[in-house]
Structure 1
Amino acid sequence: MSETSVAPARAWQSVLEHVESRLLAGELSPGDHLPGERALSAGLGVGRSSVREALRVLEAMGLIRTATGSGPNAGAIIIATPGGAMSALMRLQVAARGFPVADIVRTRLVLEAQVVSDLAEASPAADLVIAESLLDAMDAPSLSPAEFLALDAQFHLALAEASGNQVITATMAGLRGGIESYVLDGLDRIADWGATCSRLRHEHRGVVAAITAADVSLARSRIRHHISGYYAETLPDSH
């Protein structure tokens, strides 16, 4: 590979590394402006095209917001909203089948056990209105299996959001497509959907009841049983 083919990549990466080092050193914080293109280009010894490429990457990562014009809101400003970018990155990996289903399930077991623990320990009690409204919606007898499972995925995400842990919520949102994919793929391997649907409803209510009762151990046990039970029931070689 020629030197000219790798130089542009190294140039814009050096801008990213510069911003990262200033963040780690506490020299940049949310709300601060980055220096302008010309200043970054001169200060780092890279072309302005490389600076623009780095800024596009930083914006896609959810680290900066850019605006044209003049005034206090113009230019590149450090922001603290990584959740959307993190979720988008994970969704792309899921869409590209970069994560094995077994790994998604194991990750759910870890994350959701922590979610229900946090909810059960919350003081004052966590707001579960959205999660409970989704459970009520899942009681509708007219739902198709796909509609029920879509609401099921929303319920699990609603619990994560109620916990207030932004990292877990972003991760769960990013994994949602992968979760919906494997639960839908397993439908054909369910011998009696009516019985499974009834069991899932009961398990959901049991998780919420344990959270409401502030029983951390029971909430963790029930969510793990719920997640692993469906996965075991719908494994390709389980029938």
Structure 2
Amino acid sequence: MLLESSVAGELAERGSADLTDARQLLDAMDDTALTAQEFLALDAQFHLALAEAAGNTVVATTMAGLRSSIEGYVLAGAARIPEWEVMAARLRAEHRGVIDAIDAGDPTAARTRIHDHISGYYRDAHTLSTDAR
């Protein structure tokens, strides 16, 4: 969360980053026929695209290296979510909210939105897992 919050804030502060790749990934995630696995693969690419847009190769490389570990945890969480379509719609809206904050040049909102997006998914996936026991 620290890396991604930093990336989102930096992009918003800069205000001139090319977010074309991130936007294309968001558009691809709008396909409601995607499986959870397909959606989450695009989601991971979206987060990496933000890091790459920030231009910090150390952060982007670190995130790329962590990607498979994070993706495994995220996929395991998706398996515990009974209404995946509802979750996917929420995640899409949160992604767009992050981009909106970056576009608005609001680093505080960008950091908060990416933090809340990531922590919210983990919280909900964990809570659903705990409730299912």
TM-score, normalising length: structure 2 = 0.94
Residue 212 of structure 1 is matched in structure 2 by 103
Residue 10 of structure 2 is matched in structure 1 by 118
Residue 168 of structure 1 is matched in structure 2 by 59
More helix, by proportion: 2
Amino acid at match of 2:2: V
CA contact (8 A) 1:116 1:219 kept: yes
RMSD: 1.0
Partner of 2:130: helix, strand, or coil? coil
Q: Distance in 1 between matches of 2:53 and 2:131?
A: 34
**Is 1:221 matched up with 2:112?**
yes
Residue 153 of structure 1 is matched in structure 2 by 44
Q: Distance in 1 between matches of 2:130 and 2:67?
A: 24
Q: 1:229 to 1:129 in 2, by over 3 A?
A: same
Q: Distance in 2 between matches of 1:222 and 1:115?
A: 12
Partner of 1:186: helix, strand, or coil? helix
Equivalent in 75, 82, 86 of residue 184 of structure 1: 75
Equivalent in 6, 31, 49 of residue 140 of structure 1: 31
Between Structure 1 and Structure 2, how many residues are aligned?
A: 130
Q: Distance in 1 between matches of 2:131 and 2:29?
A: 26
- Displaced runs of 4 or more, over 3 A: none
TM-score, normalising length: structure 1 = 0.53
Where structure 2 has 5 or more consecutive residues not aligned to the other structure, the ranges are none
Where structure 1 has 5 or more consecutive residues not aligned to the other structure, the ranges are 1-108
Matched-pair identity in %: 56
Q: Which has the larger radius of gyration?
A: 1
